[in-house]
Structure 1
């Protein structure tokens, strides 16, 4: 289990690194736009992402 978790975290780093490498300007614009969104909305979106990720993980395993 710990090896799988570490592998998953490494893949997250690879994907985020690819986005920064491929489109740094778009990433910076997105970061500026995120500051304009209220915290409640960001939390709701974050919670939705967590649920989607957990459901997808459950379907895969």
Structure 2
């Protein structure tokens, strides 16, 4: 696997871990609020995050080439 992708995965894991580690009560409230959202809203959020991730990756990859 490409080292750039592994580095990106490592960064995502670090950033995802900071939320519950630094703000556990806020994190718990946010997760509870998300469980009440309809599936379509969650899918839109997920899709937007995926698209944003691809755009950022493309921009970084283009800048480094």
Range class of TM-score, shorter chain = 0.7 to 0.9
Unaligned runs of 5+ in 2: none
Unaligned runs of 5+ in 1: none
**Aligned-residue CA RMSD (Å):** 1.2
TM-score by length of 2: 0.82
TM-score by length of 1: 0.86
Distance 2:11 2:48 in 1: 21
Distance 1:60 1:6 in 2: 15
Q: How many residues are aligned here?
A: 61
